Structure 1
Amino acid sequence: MNIAYVCVSHKPISIETTGGIETFTIYLLNALINLGHNVTLFAAKETDLTAFSPKLKFVPIFSLADLGKKESENLESKEFTLNYAFFQYAGVAKVLIEKETFDIIHYSCAQWYAPFLLSDGKTKTLTTIHVNNLRPSAISYLFNNFPNNYIANISDSSSMSFQSYPKRKTVYNGIDLEYFPYHNSPDDYYAWLGRIAPVKGLKEALQAAKIADVSLQASGPLDFMEYYNKDVKPLLDAKRKLIRPLNFREKGMFLGKAKAVLMPVNWEEPFGLVAIEAMACGTPVIAFARGGLKETVVDGKTGYLVNSVEEMAEKIKQIDKIDRKKCREHVEKNFSSQVMAEKYAEYYQEIQKIS
């Protein structure tokens, strides 16, 4: 198939980028190319092409430097200017795409509704939605006015917020297993990895580790200073530490050498990429039973699903009951980038056949 893929993001597409959309793009496009498909990426000029197969075709549609200028302009707000820029650049991609013949146009961007509003009503498009729907009233409008647009949700949990939109399918995220080698013998620490923000639950992870009296190492970008100072910093001590942010290669080692990864998320996590990255390394995951984590973590087999800090502390003490090889096998079977690409290719073909 000849696939046009549009990724409009305020971050560069690089293996070192912390954003999930950017790493998703790398994993998916490389796997699609390995399956024999022709892929053209429309994205920022600053995209790191060394992260992709040399067979990838690349069309730059904007520069992050220009986007930065738009952010600094004193218009309505940063959100307004970002949204305006996303629409502008997605529109540029649309014009360029129309000059060629593609079997499918696949969009991946935080502003998931942009492809709908740019649709000409004729070209079939697929948009991967990486977030939960926060605008239920918009779904019926989009469905009634843009009938050739299809969506892919990254979990059944995320799909529930799009129930009124029938042209949807769940396609789970996948990862390149080469970046996450298996570790059979962990060190004596538990891990937490993510943005230091209330929804990611670092406070709860520290509390559970303290109750269980185990070592916890946490790493991630500091997004909310007030949250850190008020809720996180008072819980840090000699056994429970916040280490520096890790690069991509270090992340795999950090997850792989942990006894388990703690994910006490405080929202309906659409997917939770860290969970499958950890399990790929053989590391079990102890998570709050919320959102997509209920679909990636197999309770009692690849980790534990819990509902409170106290229950998480109890399961920490039982972590040696989990077979690390089963964690790796679970990801190999269900969440590799190859499996993800095969599912998307099947979806592309289904969409093509619909008259």
Structure 2
Amino acid sequence: MRIAMLAPISWRVPPRHYGPWERVVSLITEGLVARGVDVTLFATADSITRARLVGVCPRPYSEDPSIDPKVWECLHISAVFERADEFDLIHNHFDFLPLSYSGLVKTPVLTTIHGFSSERIVPVYEKYDGRAYYVSISNADRHPRLHYVATVYHGIPLEEFTLRREPGDYLLFFGRIHHDKGAREAIEVARRTGERLIIAGIIQDQEYFAREVEPYLNERIRYIGSVGPDRRDEILGGAKALLHLINFNEPFGLSMVEAMACGTPVIATPRGSVPEIVVDGETGFLVRSIDEAVSAIARIKELDRARARLHVERNFSQDRMVEEYLRVYKEVLRMEETKREGSARSSTAATSPLYDERPWGSFTVLDEGRGYKVKRIEVLPHKRLSYQRHAHRSEHWMMVQGTGKVTLDGREIIVPTGETIDIPQGAAHRIENPGDEKLIFIEIQRGDYLGEDDIVRLEDDFGRVS
């Protein structure tokens, strides 16, 4: 398997201090190389990796103002796609821009969506939904108008973090200094509890820092700048608790996992991915106000720091993340092979393609003969087929993955995995996937005409009413 790993160029891979996307890229890349996978990393030229490195951009543009981001982003991305035929798969961590190249190459493109900076970028993802493949980094960060092949949580190298069973004597804010991340809220908790507070992170919003942080700095509330790998373990592990009192929907939040790996509990606002990462009352506390956060500080001693570490070992290790991405790669390549087989079959049997994509998912013809046809049908999460009827055939459905919600002549019927339902000739019917993963079922058609045009659509979510 030959993988092209496309990293951002805002920071080096791995980053010197800040750069969460670049950090994840590094962990995936090195984990794949350790497993014998042939990886070519496209990153800044000063990046450090055991993979084959292609560095068009000499330095990260966030560290060197002379680097024009637009110019070097174009050169960087084009370098990957101009060599696309050398790879089995391109794994894109560069947000939405590389998707605009994906229709020009045959190599499949898998994009890890690290979050949505704005709703304005979603149309690009929508345009290539179905051509490219998407991975979310938390279930909460899935966009309702997009389809995903998997959710893969970030993982960290456990050996870089030391469990400290006894708490230190300070609270910690660890993240970019911005309203979204709640630095001002952390300061308020420290002032009301009388606890020491260390603030660590890059200043992303200078005005916010000058207005909401700097006036409150003193001997008990200290800002120590951005913390790199050399001090991360020490600073995170020495804290009583990490304060993550965010004002936005967190896509993932690496600092929460890193803190818990040191045994440090997390006191966080339950927005976005936070409830997927922090176990309330076990690895930290989920709070909805400053008052609740203040109360949680008094309960820190109730928590077992070793349990927080165990939670990370079980759910957020680098090894687990890399293994899950390997499974995703294999699934994407399997789907691509199915598409190619479908294209070959459709060129000789246009009236009955082996594989076809629809707005709700896809189907594959497994077998057909005189008076019968067998299909494997996949319905994407929260999608449904049209409400329709057939004049010339009956159908028999068996659910093999997921649970189908079937409407048959106006009556709703839940059909779980392993169960079947018959659709009589002429009956109005539809099937919906109410779940978060693909619904797969086998359809057996019987009748005197089995063409795809034997459909009368009564209702349809995609404007195809007959």
Smaller-chain TM-score bracket: 0.7 to 0.9
TM-score (norm 1): 0.88
Query: Equivalent residue for 1:141?
Result: 127
The question of 1:113 aligning with 2:96 is answered yes
Query: Equivalent residue for 2:110?
Result: 126
| TM superposition shift of 1:69 | 12
Q: Residue by residue, what CA displacement relative to the aligned partner does 1:43-77 show, whole Å, maximum 9, x if unpaired?
A: 22121x2xx3x4x2222233238x6899659xxxx
State which drifts further: 314-323 or 126-135.
126-135
Query: Secondary structure at the residue paired with 1:62?
Result: coil
Query: Equivalent residue for 1:76?
Result: none
Cα RMSD between the aligned structures?
Answer: 2.1
Q: Distance in 2 between matches of 1:123 and 1:168?
A: 17
Q: Distance in 2 between matches of 1:40 and 1:149?
A: 20
Q: Distance in 2 between matches of 1:234 and 1:329?
A: 39
Higher RCO, 1 vs 2 (CA within 8 Å, ≥6 residues apart):
1
The 8 Å contact of residues 70 and 82 in structure 1, kept in 2 or not, is answered as no
Q: Distance in 2 between matches of 1:191 and 1:234?
A: 18
Query: Equivalent residue for 1:85?
Result: 72
The question of 1:103 aligning with 2:88 is answered yes
Query: Equivalent residue for 1:280?
Result: 261
Q: Distance in 2 between matches of 1:148 and 1:12?
A: 30
TM-score (norm 2): 0.68
Structure 1 unaligned segments of length 5 or more: list them: 74-80
AA aligned to 2:96 is Y
AA aligned to 1:113 is F
AA aligned to 2:240 is K
- CA 1:258 to 1:128, structure 2 compared with 1: closer, same or farther past 3 Å? same
Q: Distance in 2 between matches of 1:337 and 1:256?
A: 19
Query: Equivalent residue for 1:20?
Result: 20
Aligned length: 333
Q: Distance in 1 between matches of 2:169 and 2:253?
A: 24
State which drifts further: 11-20 or 182-191.
11-20
Query: Equivalent residue for 1:78?
Result: none
Query: Secondary structure at the residue paired with 1:330?
Result: helix
Q: Distance in 2 between matches of 1:116 and 1:94?
A: 10
Q: Residue by residue, what CA displacement relative to the aligned partner does 1:292-318 show, whole Å, maximum 9, x if unpaired?
A: 112111111100111111111110110
State which drifts further: 331-340 or 185-194.
185-194
AA aligned to 1:107 is N
Alignment of 1:1-355 (within 5 A): 1-47=1-47, 49=48, 52=49, 54=50, 56-64=51-59, 82-98=69-85, 100=86, 102-109=87-94, 112-119=95-102, 120=104, 122-132=106-116, 134-135=119-120, 136-143=122-129, 147-159=130-142, 162-354=143-335, 355=338
Q: Distance in 1 between matches of 2:64 and 2:319?
A: 37
The 8 Å contact of residues 8 and 90 in structure 1, kept in 2 or not, is answered as no
The 8 Å contact of residues 11 and 63 in structure 2, kept in 1 or not, is answered as no
Q: Distance in 2 between matches of 1:208 and 1:264?
A: 10
The 8 Å contact of residues 279 and 302 in structure 1, kept in 2 or not, is answered as yes
AA aligned to 1:349 is K
AA aligned to 1:252 is D
- CA 1:15 to 1:114, structure 2 compared with 1: closer, same or farther past 3 Å? closer
Q: Distance in 2 between matches of 1:205 and 1:69?
A: 28
Tell me the percent identity. 33
Q: Distance in 2 between matches of 1:230 and 1:5?
A: 40
AA aligned to 1:118 is Y
- 1 or 2, which has the higher helix percentage? 1
Q: Distance in 2 between matches of 1:138 and 1:15?
A: 28
State which drifts further: 185-194 or 299-308.
185-194
Runs of 4+ displaced beyond 4 Å: 67-73
